[in-house]
Amino acid sequence: MNSFFYASASGWIASILIGAEIVLPYLLRRTRLSELLGTVSRDGKPYLHRMRPHYWAGYVLIVLSTAHAWVPMQTGHMGRANMTGLWFATAALLLLLFQAALGLALQDAKLPDRARFRSWHYWTMMALMLCVAAHVWLNA
Amino acid sequence: MEANSALEAKRARRVWIALVALVVLVAALAVWMSARMSGKMSAAGASDEQAFAKATAGSTGKVVLEVAEIAPSGTFRGKLLVKKTEEVYVQTGTLVAVQFSAQTKMVMGRPEDIRPGAIVHVTGTVRKDHGLDAGQIVILTGYVHVE
């Protein structure tokens, strides 16, 4: 039963963290939302420096998601789970790793073709969100 | 000008604290719900052959069964299992008939999960024939093993 608790808790925390991770750049950048809430810093720090909470939340998310996948796989409790949901979860984990790679590349301010990378980062986030939603719907 | 920016910084800090607190609160709620469900499953794991044999008609019975056969009209028969460890159960020779309906509360699964070989925890009212009218069925298949 402990494995159920760890898998369930890590999964829900990861889902919440995904939401926070998505919102963070909109709060850290100068956007309508950040202006409204007053969350955008005016201390003159460069934009990529201000994005640090977004980077760290991403790293934590990778650890949590891996743990969430590892616990039931290790205990062999996958037998009765919906297979389509598990495929969505696998896709989400792969997308998360791809997303982390894109994010790491975007940390370089001099990255050539930056706009294209940012666009991929955005659309990968959308695909990731859909996969996670499907996984939650089918397996939670 | 300086006072204005100090005020803005203070406001920003407050908003950030509120946002972080909100995330922590929702995460804590998720952990609590997971612990509650896990506790429910753990409590459901209790199964005692002797206690069930002595149970009188009308009393509440709690048993873990390995589903042996399904009959139409919401009835199944299962072999009574006795808890050995948290995740390992041992089969007994006792067969228990269970009646369930649309009103029966299903935890961790759906009525379709009740099939031969499935492991279920049943809480219900003991009948005169020592069967059970299920009030709650927890699907434990995959979470416990039978020796």
Q: Kindly give, in sequence order, each residue whose CB lies less than 8 Å from that of residue A92, ignoring residues fewer than 6 positions away.
A: A65, A128, A131, A132, A135
Q: Measured between CA atoms, how close is A11 to chain B, in angstroms?
A: 9
Q: What is the sign, positive or negative, of the torsion defined by CA atoms of A77, A78, A82, A88?
A: positive
The answer, for A74 touching chain B at a CB cutoff of 8 Å, is no
DSSP symbol at B141: B
Predicted local distance difference test score (pLDDT) of residue A134 = 95
CA distances B106 to A3, A32, B26, B123, B140, Å, are 21, 46, 26, 11, 11
Whether the predicted pLDDT of B93 surpasses 70: yes
pLDDT, average across residues A123-137: 95
- Looking at the predicted complex, does its ipTM rise above 0.90? no
* CATH tag, B49-146: 2.40.50.320
Considering only residues B144 and A1, tell me which one the structure prediction assigns the higher pLDDT.
B144
B49 class by beta-carbon count within 10 Å (0-12 exposed, 13-18 middle, 19+ buried): middle
Looking from the CA of B52 toward its CB, the CA atoms found within 13 Å total 26
CA distances A75 to A6, A50, A129, B27, B82, Å, are 11, 40, 27, 24, 21
Whether the predicted pLDDT of B5 surpasses 90: no
Predicted local distance difference test score (pLDDT) of residue B44 = 55
Give chain B's contact residues with A (Cβ, < 8 Å).
5, 8-9, 11-12, 15-16, 19, 23, 26-27, 30-31, 33-35, 37-39, 41-42, 45, 86-87, 109, 113, 139, 141-143
Token pair belonging to B91: 């089969």
pLDDT in tens, B104-131: 888 878 888 888 999 998 988 888 888 8
pLDDT in tens, B37-82: 777 666 555 556 777 777 788 888 888 999 999 887 788 999 999 8
The answer, for A4 touching chain B at a CB cutoff of 8 Å, is yes
pTM comes to: 0.67
DSSP symbol at B48: -
User: Mutate which of B4, B17, B19 to disrupt the A interface (most A C-beta within 10 Å)?
Assistant: B19
pLDDT, average across residues A34-47: 78
Token pair 């760890």 is at which residue? A6
Would you list the domain boundaries of chain B? 1-44, 49-146
